[in-house]
Amino acid sequence: MKSAMKQRLVGTIVIGSLAIIFIPILLDGEGVSTPALTTSIPEPPPMPVVPDIVPERPDITADTTSTAPEPETIIADSSTEPEVAESAPPPAPERPQLTSAGVPATWAVRLGSFGEAANAEALVERLQSSGHKGFSRPLQTSRGPLTGVYVGPVLTETEAATLQQELARSFQLEGVVVQFSIEELQ
């Protein structure tokens, strides 16, 4: 029985060796040709010539031209010549000032400082529901941390003063005009 097993083992080794030798010879790729490649991709179309566009800053005439109204014509009666009443042009609107960083300085109205944040948020909600841009911010004061309630920002101090008067009439709160600054993110 051992000799039969030996013969089977030797036969398997001989056949495996022959396979290792002859299979690469049979499968070397000779006689196999690659198919010819044909393409049906057309040539790319010519690129259109793009004109060079030089950007130009438009002239802003709103800042340079006067919008003074025409003088009023008053006719006293039909027998006299019309009289032209000279009216002074309205004052020029206040222009926003720039900060040292080159951005417009903005203003807000501080309506109050609250020790309870819930009270501050209640006022902010009242302001926002009446159409104002209300917000709150934490403040560090000599009395400790408080929550300030603000309305704004607006671009000029004059607008802020007008807003302060409107808020005093609407909410019976005397606010203070303060310069608005963007909080740094922590």
CATH classification of the domain holding 170:
3.30.70.1070
Least confident of 54-58, 77-81, 139-143: 77-81
The percent of residues above 90 in pLDDT, for the chain, comes to 9
Q: Does 147 reside within a domain?
A: yes
d(CA 65, CA 167): 34
Which structural domain range is residue 132 located in?
106-180
d(CA 88, CA 179): 32
Domain count, the chain: 1
Least confident of 30-44, 56-70, 101-115: 56-70
Whole-Å CA distances, 86 to 70, 83, 126, 143? 9, 9, 46, 57
Q: Does 156 reside within a domain?
A: yes
Q: Does 10 reside within a domain?
A: no
The mean predicted confidence, pLDDT, of the chain is 77
Q: Does 53 reside within a domain?
A: no
Q: Does 27 reside within a domain?
A: no
Q: CA 137, 138, 139, 143: dihedral to nearest 10 degrees? A: 140
pLDDT at 150 over 70: yes
Label residue 154 exposed, middle or buried (CB < 10 Å: 0-12, 13-18, 19+): buried
Q: Which of 42-56, 97-111, 171-185 has the highest mean pLDDT?
A: 42-56
d(CA 121, CA 135): 8
Element counts in the chain: helices (H) and strands (E): 3, 6
pLDDT at 65 over 60: no
Q: Does 168 reside within a domain?
A: yes
pLDDT value of residue 125 = 92
pLDDT value of residue 73 = 45
The more confidently predicted of residues 180 and 99 is 180
pLDDT category at 14 given cuts 50, 70, 90 is very high
